[in-house]
Amino acid sequence: MEVPILKQGAFLIATFQAALSDADLNQLRMGLVQQVVKFRSRAVIVDVTAMDVMDSFASRTLREIAHMIRLRGAETVIVGIQPEVAFAMVQLGLTLEGVATALDLEEGLAYLNEKFKVTN
Amino acid sequence: MVLTIKSLTDSHSGLARRRTICAQEKIFMAKRDLTIPDPELKRTEEPSELLRELVAHLRQNRTQLREEWVVRISETRLLTAMTKEEIFAEATSVYDSYVEALETEAFEALQAYARNLSERIIPRGVETHEVVGIVLLLRDVLARSLFAKYQTDFKKLNRILDAYEPAANRIANTVAVGFVQERERVIRQQQEAIRELSTPVLQVRERLLILPIIGVIDPQRARQLTEQLLRGIRTNRAKVVVIDITGVAAMDVTVANHLVQTVEASRLLGATVIVTGLSPEIAQTLVTIGVDLGKMNTVGDLQGGIEQAERLLGYKVASIAEPR
């Protein structure tokens, strides 16, 4: 299942639908970086609201996405982590270190707008 | 042979087979009854008669035996938390229930009585060893009385004791277990109450939540707090949370780890956590377990924590008028 990547001004928004397979995640990783290059985006928001479980592979992939995108000089914000998922993640030690997070899409955009002082 | 028949499995055909075999069993048992009664069979019928006999004896000598029991209780210094009158009142009903239990073997009634008794005396500070102690004393007093009565007929004494001992031991067991169960019930109730003492998640400003924690945190309560907080962050769209632990005296390593996890989980929801009110003991615990203090934002007291939170949120507090 392909993850739709939408362009919002200088940002890209990728919204996860429910369960993503490992292949989907790998595809997303490449896809996002390619899009960042293509549109010269300043930041990517990955919305995981629909994910009700987060395993170590998904967590590592998100971290890798953030690192790869940072190499392109862009920022990543993960938004919409559910309380139960957050709880499970910290218990497993998957902390998404070094990656910015926000409550939801609105907060994520507010954070980025603040950071870049961009008016869309 | 009877045993292997009973171990057949329950398939459809097996069930049909079992039914016919049960019928066969009945025929087998009926045949047995028609045979000459063997001495074994005769002896197993006697206990109920013997029980009736000894119960009658215990009832007849009720007053005297009960007196003796109460004397033994004060000699061994049990039930010091109760007055003589209270002991006497309880002794009467315990004695009667005991003898009744011996007779009818209705242990449900005794169990209920034991629980009821526990409910009344636990608040008065009676300990488990005292309760077990007095029941065993009663057992001894009654046994001695049986020894005295049947001392001339040793064989009969043995049979009387064969009937008395299992029943008396079951009673002691039932009362002790009933007592312990009641204590456990009280403990569970108190634990619930402590848990409910928690921890409202309070919104004091837009996007600012405060979680004041008071009392003892066990791992279960810690988990509950975390879940409550994360839900609160999402509902109130909080960006900063101040967790105040001034009211927490001590924290073990497990709970300290829970606190760290709470901070990390909150971050995943986009909220910053400020922990305030760490006592010296808790500060020591956190340092000992090697918490990465870079991850934890801490401030001395609640006031400081709220002020920092306001700064993070871009609030400024200015005085607009002289206090009246």
A96–B261 CB contact, under 8 Å: no
> Taking CB atoms and an 8 Å cutoff, what residues of chain A touch B266?
86
The pairing of strands B208-214 and B202-205 is antiparallel
Phi then psi dihedrals of residue B301, to 5 deg = -125, 175
Region of poorest pLDDT, from B14-28, B62-76, B163-177 = B14-28
- Residue B250's pLDDT is 81
Pick from A81, A90, A103: CB nearest B261? A90
* Closest-approach residue (CA) in chain A for B266: A86
Q: A76-112 pLDDT, tens per residue?
A: 999 999 999 999 999 888 878 889 999 999 999 999 9
Percent of chain B residues topping a pLDDT of 70: 84
A96, A103, A105, A114: best to mutate for the B interface, most B CBs within 10 A:
A103
Band of residue B17 on the pLDDT scale cut at 50, 70, 90: low
> Taking CB atoms and an 8 Å cutoff, what residues of chain A touch B234?
82-83, 103
Q: B74-129 pLDDT, tens per residue?
A: 888 887 777 878 888 878 888 888 888 778 777 777 777 777 777 777 777 778 78
Spell out the alpha helix ranges (H) of chain B: 2-6, 12-34, 39-60, 62-75, 84-104, 107-121, 128-150, 154-196, 219-236, 253-268, 280-288, 302-313
Q: Which domains does chain B have, with CATH numbers?
A: 39-194 (1.10.490.70), 202-313 (3.30.750.24)
pLDDT reading at B15 higher than 80: no
Nearest to B237 by CA among A78, A79, A85, A45: A79
* Closest-approach residue (CA) in chain B for A88: B265
> Taking CB atoms and an 8 Å cutoff, what residues of chain B touch A111?
270
Rounded to the nearest angstrom, the minimum Cα separation between A27 and chain B is 24
Distances (CA, A) of B301 to B211, B243, B294: 13, 10, 19
- With 0-12 / 13-18 / 19 or more C-beta atoms within 10 angstroms meaning exposed / middle / buried, residue B127 is middle
Nearest to A48 by CA among A38, A57, A59: A59
A98-110 burial code (b ≥16 CB/10 A, e <16): ebbbbbbbebbbe
Pick from A87, A95, A107: CB nearest B270? A107
Region of poorest pLDDT, from A46-50, A73-77, B171-175, B298-302 = B171-175
A86–B269 CB contact, under 8 Å: yes
Q: What is the CATH number of the domain that holds A60?
A: 3.30.750.24
> Taking CB atoms and an 8 Å cutoff, what residues of chain A touch B314?
none
Q: What ipTM was estimated for this complex?
A: 0.82
- Residue B197's pLDDT is 66
Rounded to the nearest angstrom, the minimum Cα separation between B171 and chain A is 48
pLDDT reading at B46 higher than 70: no
Pick from B226, B237, B264: CB nearest A95? B264
pLDDT reading at B28 higher than 80: no
- Residue B26's pLDDT is 53
Task: Please provide the average confidence, as pLDDT, over all residues in chain B.
Answer: 79
- Classify B91 as helix, strand or coil: helix
Provide mean pLDDT across the span B55-67: 87
Chain B within 8 Å of A89 (Cβ-Cβ)? yes
- Residue B41's pLDDT is 40
* Closest-approach residue (CA) in chain B for A107: B270
Q: B292-318 pLDDT, tens per residue?
A: 777 788 888 899 999 999 999 988 888
* Closest-approach residue (CA) in chain B for A84: B227
Q: B221-280 pLDDT, tens per residue?
A: 888 889 999 999 999 999 999 999 998 888 888 888 888 889 999 999 999 999 999 888
Pick from A87, A91, A102: CB nearest B270? A102
Region of poorest pLDDT, from A55-69, B154-168, B182-196, B257-271 = B182-196
Specify the number of domains making up chain A.
1
Task: Please provide the average confidence, as pLDDT, over all residues in chain A.
Answer: 89
Could you list the residue range(s) of the whole structural domain that residue A16 is in? Answer: 5-116
Rounded to the nearest angstrom, the minimum Cα separation between A100 and chain B is 8
- Residue A112's pLDDT is 93
Provide mean pLDDT across the span B43-47: 51
Chain B within 8 Å of A95 (Cβ-Cβ)? yes
Pick from B227, B262, B270: CB nearest A103? B270
State the residue for tokens 């398939």: B11
Chain B within 8 Å of A91 (Cβ-Cβ)? yes
